[in-house]
Structure formats: structure tokens, C-alpha cells
Amino acid sequence: MNRRGSVAIGIDLGTTYSCVGVWQNDQVEIVANDQGNRTMPSCVAFTNGGRLIGEGAKNQIAMNITNTIYDAKRLIGRRFSDTKLQEDMKSWPFDVIKGSNNIPMIVVTYNGEKKEFSAEEISSMVLIKLKEAAEKFLGKVVRDAVITVPAYFDDSQRQATKDAGHVAGLNVLQIINEPTSAAIAYGLDMKNDIVRDINVLIFDLGGGTFDVSLVNIDTNGTITVKAVAGDTHLGGQDFDNAMVDYFVEQFKRKHNIDVSVNKRALSRLRVACEKAKRVLSSIIDTTIDIDSFHDGVDFSMRISRAMFEKLNEDFFSKCIEMVEKCLGDAEMNKWQIDEVVLVGGSTRIPKVQQLLKDFFQGKELSKKIHVDEAVAYGATVLAAKLTGCTGKKVSNLVLIDVVPLSLGVDLHDGSFNVIIKRNSSIPTKNERNYYTVMDNQESITFNVYQGERSRAIDNNWLGRFAVAVPRAPKGRSSVRVAFDVDANGILNCSGVELTTGQKIAITITNYKERLSTRNIEKMLEVAHKYKLQDEEYEKTTSVRNALEDYIYDVKSKIKKIGNTTKRFNNKDLEIMEIAIEKASEILKESQLADSGQYQKALNQLEKVCVPIIAQHV
Ligand code: ADP
Ligand code: MG
């Protein structure tokens, strides 16, 4: 708890798994959810009975493939027309359509009705589940949170993640880069052992994204990010997909059947491949068996670790290339790296470890921090600091992070003019003047982009704004554009008309463009409605379970007591059996009844059975 009496949480909102931590008794506690797990699948399912989030959703995926949503992080902050998104869509069994403003919308059938959700809304559902787990653990309401994003997330992806937090009812204190967060965890853990400035390379390979970050940690605990590199589309899922493609091909050869059109079979195969991949991290050979895989044909095939490595060779080499790029950007060579720290589930793959170790000329890799929990751990420390915790461990923490990709505007010839260079420390500001290119021009329009390509349109388009200028011969009127990147890595920009001295500042955040405030309000309402529905669903299933348990209990008592001298007389037995029969009827219906009906059935059954059984025990 902090000075204000509230507790802030740290959330690692992962592509495949998410994790939440709280600050308690001057240390981080990673919270286990209601299933007892410390990480939770970032998965949401819509069923006829209700909504499932986390393990519950993931476990029923093969039975409900079109309404079980994963990978929201691959959609968040992206445009529908994005080529990567179009590519991803081919592997998703759920439908994604183009919504207003080019926002991708996920379509599901929920309680018999078609519904559309943005990635922000799906992510907010995962966030709510994590928030609730933290609240249950702490026994109090949580409002503030630090949420992590891949270092390589662009501005719109960061802003959209912040929006998701807002929709989940969280006040997002800060968006922080995942590898930087892991660096905090490492720095804190190693505090007493750091006797001089050290350079640490954080290698974070998860399910969906890959980030490398080179940080300097000094003896006071100040963490300065020197450079980041990575790929928002490289991780465990790509390795799973490579295995799926391989097996589809093998299956075709063996049975002359093309299963690539059978989405359900592919989904089952993907789940099996992910499991097999994990197994191959500890043993060198495994078999995948799936009953009635396609048209009654079973699936049974072997895969070796060597084959798995071959299938993913290119992905693995790309990871090493990124490490080189990061070193280059930081103007360092590999000998200057003191520690190489592994983060993310996919760093368990032996080949990845070996390639990295070889690259660093046999250097031992540091496994001191927990690969699945370090990101949430660091975010929790920062959350504690930002809410005013004064404990010794957090008060010294100073973070200096960087902009992952250059920011700038397009020029009239279509080239990209950088205003803030990549790897600049944040927060940062820069200004630049732009002049009219035609006589009597009435305004100058700026398209804001983020990326490293020299042609503006090859970069990520973030938004557009125009500033009116007084009519004059070309080159006489000008606008000063200011870019300001805050501690979240989020950009605000403004344009000021200078020639007349009149200052018109326009701020664009693509927040307005993507999701207007009204839209967010609507999402909040929907989130609230679903929360109430979920509560009703939980209540209903819990009374239904209580009814089922009681019927089971009575039946077993009848059996048990029936074998003793105190056995029931025939009349009592008959009364109880009729009552059980009646109560069981409601359980046979496929649709869920409302909680009141189950409660009534339970009450009636208890009224009959409790007094009879009481006489016989
Ligand atoms: P993210 O943060 O992107 O959700 P995580 O860091 O939680 O990802 O890592 C999840 C990924 O790690 C998944 O693709 C999972 O299959 C993979 N993974 C977990 N354990 C192993 C293992 N033992 N061997 C190989 N991959 C693993
Ligand atoms: Mg992660």
C-alpha cells in the first residue's frame, strides 16, 4: 500500500499469456488466479451460456473455434488494411471485419446474437480478469495500473493498449516496454551484486512478439535504455504455425487428404503442436496423436527436435540479427555486454539459447529472473513507485527509456522527414519549421508517420493534421511542428503558424481518430453490461452445481444407508426418488435456466430429503 492508501498493480498483457503482480510488504507478489495459475491465457470465449476468460476459454477452443478469441494483441492499434493483419486473418478461425475508421472488428455469436468487438474491448476483458484476481488477493478495489507493451509497439498500438486499460476501469499510470520492465526485475534482484555500471542485453522472445533491449544499470539502480530492436510479429505462435504447416503437408502425403480447409482440425492440430513444442524443449523426440482428426481418420506422427529446429531456422536467425542490430544502434560490440538475460516463454527453446550463447562467444546466459513473470514483476515495482511507495527498494528506481521507431512527417515529394529519431530517450521534444511549397497556399497538411523507411508511405501512418496559413508567395508562410513523446512513449504533436505571429496549436493524438471519447464511453457501458451478465452466469452455474452436488449426495446416501440396518422404508424411498427425478429435470435442459429456478428446485429437494435423511443417520 502507498501513501494514498490504494494499491497499484503491474500487468503484463501478453499475446498468448498475461500476468499480474501486486506490491505488498515491500515486495512483489505475482497473483495466482482462480485456477491457481500465475499466468493466464489471453483468451476470451463467447458461448451460449456466458463469457469465459483465461483457462476456461482456452480449454474449450476446439469446440467453439469461431467464438474463442485470442491474439487480440496482434490486432490492437492496427488498421484493417494492414498487410500483416490481413496475413494473420488467414490463420484465425474467428471472423474479423472492417469497422468504421478502418478499425478491425472481431465478430462473434454470443448468447445467440451476432456481436462485434474491437481488440481494445477483448483486451479489456483480459485486463478485467487480471484486475479481479488482484482485487481478490488483496481484498480491496484496484484502480491504478502499469501495463506493459512490446518495446517495438508503435504509437497507435500503445495508445490502443492504454484505451483497453481505460475500458477495463483502470487508470493507466504508465505504459512501459516489456524488456525495460524485465530490466527492472533484474536490477532489483541483482541490486547488491551490481558494483559498477553494467550493460545488460534483455532477450525477450514470447508467444507473439520478440524484443531485444540493451540497457545500462548503474550502482544506484538507474536503468538507461540504450537501444531497442525487435519484431512485433515473431514468437512461439510462428513456431507452432510452422509445425502445423509441416504436418498438414505430411498428412497430405500419407493419406492424400488436404486438411487445410478443416478449421476445427487445424485448431486441434495447433494446440497439439504447441504442446509438442514444449516437450521438445526437454526431450529430443515426440509424437502427436489426435483421434478422429479428419473425416474419422486419426492423426499420429512423430517429430524430432532437429526437425523442429530446421522448420524454424529462419525465425531463429532473425532473432540473432535483431541482437546485432540492437548492438549496432547502441554503438556497442558484443564484448561490452556484461549480462544476457532471458525473458519470455520461447527462450526455453534449447536452440535459441545455443544460438545466443554462440553469438556471445560461449557466454553463460543469465536465468536469474523468471522468464514468465519478470515483465509483470518490473511493472509492479514501477506501479508502486508511481503511486508514492517509499520503500527502499523502489525509491531509487530511475528509468530512462527510448522511442523504438523514428517519428516524423511527409514532405510534398513523398519523402519522410524525421523529427524524433529512433532510440531517443523519452520524454523527448523536438521542433521543426515547414514552409509552403505553392503560391497562395491556404494551409499545410501534415501526415504523421512512424518508422525507418525513407518513403513516407512505407512507414506506419499515425494521423493527419492541417494548419491554416496566410496567403503569400511560396516559401513565405511557415508552420512550426512540435513533437512531444511522453513517458508512455505516446506522441502528441502540434503545429503553430509563425509568419503572422498568430499561434494556432493543434494537437493530434490518433486517439481521436481511432476511438472517439464517445466510443470509449460506449465500450465502458458494454463492459459493465457484460460484467453484470457474467455475475449472473456465475451465480447461475454455482446454484446449478449446488443442485447437482446435492442430488449426487442424496443418491449416495440412499445407497450407503440402504446397506445398513437404518435403511429407509419403501414410502420414504419412493418420496425421495420422485423428488430427485423432479429436481433432475431442469438439469437435462441444454439451455441454462435462471438461477432462481435452480434455487427453487434445490430448496424443494432439500425440503423433502433433509428431514427423512436426518432420521436415518
Ligand atoms: P507472450 O508474452 O507473448 O504471451 P510468453 O512469454 O508468455 O508470451 O510465452 C509464451 C510462449 O512461450 C508460447 O508460444 C509458448 O508456447 C512458449 N513456451 C512456453 N514454454 C515453452 C517451452 N518449454 N518450450 C518452448 N516454448 C515454450
Ligand atoms: Mg510477454
Q: How many CB atoms lie within 10 A of CB 282?
A: 10
Distances in Å between the Cα of 579 and the Cα atoms of 575, 583, 604 are 6, 6, 8
Residue 118: pLDDT above 70?
A: yes
- DSSP output for 332-399: --GGG--EEEEESGGGG-HHHHHHHHHHTTTPPPB--S-TTTHHHHHHHHHHHHHTT---HHHHT-EE
Ligand with an atom nearest the CA of residue 308: 1
Cβ of 187 below 6 Å from ligand 1: no
Q: Where are the beta strands (DSSP E) in 99-160?
A: 104-110, 113-118, 144-149
- For residue range 47-97, what is the model confidence (pLDDT) as tens digits? 988 899 999 999 999 889 999 999 999 999 999 999 989 999 988 999 999
SS3 128: helix
The C-alpha R_g of the chain, in whole angstroms, comes to 29
Q: Could you tell me whether strands 104-110 and 95-98 are parallel, antiparallel, or unpaired per DSSP bridges?
A: antiparallel
Query: Nearest 5 degrees, angle CA 490-CA 121-CA 143?
Result: 70
Locate the ligand 1 atom nearest the alpha carbon of residue 16 and give its number: 4
Cβ of 281 below 6 Å from ligand 1: yes
> What CA–CA distance (Å, rounded) separates 528 from 223?
39
Residue bearing the CA closest to ligand 1, atom 11: 207
- For residue range 141-194, what is the model confidence (pLDDT) as tens digits? 999 999 999 998 998 899 999 999 999 999 999 999 999 999 999 988 777 777
Ligand with an atom nearest the CA of residue 280: 1
Locate the ligand 1 atom nearest the alpha carbon of residue 235 and give its number: 14
Cβ of 346 below 6 Å from ligand 1: yes
> What CA–CA distance (Å, rounded) separates 136 from 142?
10
- For residue range 280-294, what is the model confidence (pLDDT) as tens digits? 999 999 999 999 999
Asked which of 107-121, 245-259, 499-513 is least confident by mean pLDDT, the reply is: 499-513
Locate the ligand 1 atom nearest the alpha carbon of residue 17 and give its number: 4
Please give the grid coordinates belonging to residue 75. 490486432
> Could you tell me the domains of the chain?
8-234+316-400 (3.30.420.40), 236-313 (3.90.640.10), 403-526 (2.60.34.10), 531-614 (1.20.1270.10)
pLDDT at 314: 97
- For residue range 347-386, what is the model confidence (pLDDT) as tens digits? 999 999 999 999 999 999 998 899 999 999 999 999 999 9
Ligand 1 pocket test: pick from 11, 15, 17, 70 the residue with the most ligand atoms within 8 Å of its Cβ.
Answer: 17
- For residue range 303-318, what is the model confidence (pLDDT) as tens digits? 999 999 999 999 999 9
Cβ of 372 below 6 Å from ligand 1: yes
**Mean pLDDT, to the nearest integer, of 520-530?**
80
Residue 433: pLDDT above 90?
A: yes
Ligand with an atom nearest the CA of residue 178: 2
Ligand with an atom nearest the CA of residue 41: 1
460 vs 142, more confident = 142
Please give the grid coordinates belonging to residue 426. 523519452
Locate the ligand 1 atom nearest the alpha carbon of residue 239 and give its number: 14
CA of 211 to the centre of ligand 2 (A): 9
Cα 128 from chain centroid? 12
CA of 181 to the centre of ligand 2 (A): 11
- For residue range 196-242, what is the model confidence (pLDDT) as tens digits? 899 999 999 999 999 999 999 998 889 999 999 999 899 999 999 99
- For residue range 545-596, what is the model confidence (pLDDT) as tens digits? 899 999 999 988 888 887 777 778 888 889 999 999 999 998 887 677 888 9
Q: How confident is the model at residue 511 (pLDDT cuts 50, 70, 90)?
A: very low
Locate the ligand 1 atom nearest the alpha carbon of residue 12 and give its number: 2
* Phi, psi angle pair for 571, to nearest 5°: -65, -50
Question: Is-contact 215 200, C-beta < 8 A?
Answer: yes
Residue bearing the CA closest to ligand 1, atom 23: 278
pLDDT at 461: 85
Residue 340: pLDDT above 90?
A: yes
CA of 206 to the centre of ligand 2 (A): 5
Asked which of 121-125, 383-387, 410-414, 565-569 is least confident by mean pLDDT, the reply is: 565-569
Cβ of 209 below 6 Å from ligand 1: yes
Locate the ligand 1 atom nearest the alpha carbon of residue 371 and give its number: 6
- In the chain, the percentage of residues whose pLDDT exceeds 70 is 96
Q: How confident is the model at residue 512 (pLDDT cuts 50, 70, 90)?
A: very low
Contacts of 608 (CB under 8 A, 6+ apart): 575, 576, 579
- Grid coordinates 441444454 are at which residue? 590
CA of 439 to the centre of ligand 2 (A): 52
Asked which of 41-45, 106-110, 495-499 is least confident by mean pLDDT, the reply is: 495-499
pLDDT at 510: 46
Cβ of 349 below 6 Å from ligand 1: yes
Give strand pairing partners of 290: 299
pLDDT at 534: 80
Q: How confident is the model at residue 504 (pLDDT cuts 50, 70, 90)?
A: low
pLDDT at 13: 98
Cβ of 277 below 6 Å from ligand 1: yes
Cβ of 181 below 6 Å from ligand 1: no
- Mean pLDDT for the chain overall: 90
Q: Which residues are catalytic?
A: 12, 73, 178, 204
Asked which of 102-111, 435-444, 498-507 is least confident by mean pLDDT, the reply is: 498-507
pLDDT at 141: 93
102-111, 483-492, 540-549, range with greatest mean pLDDT:
102-111
- Residue 478: closest CA among 535, 523, 436, 441: 436
* Omega before 179 within 30 of 0, i.e. cis: no
CA of 206 to the centre of ligand 1 (A): 5
Its pTM stands at: 0.85
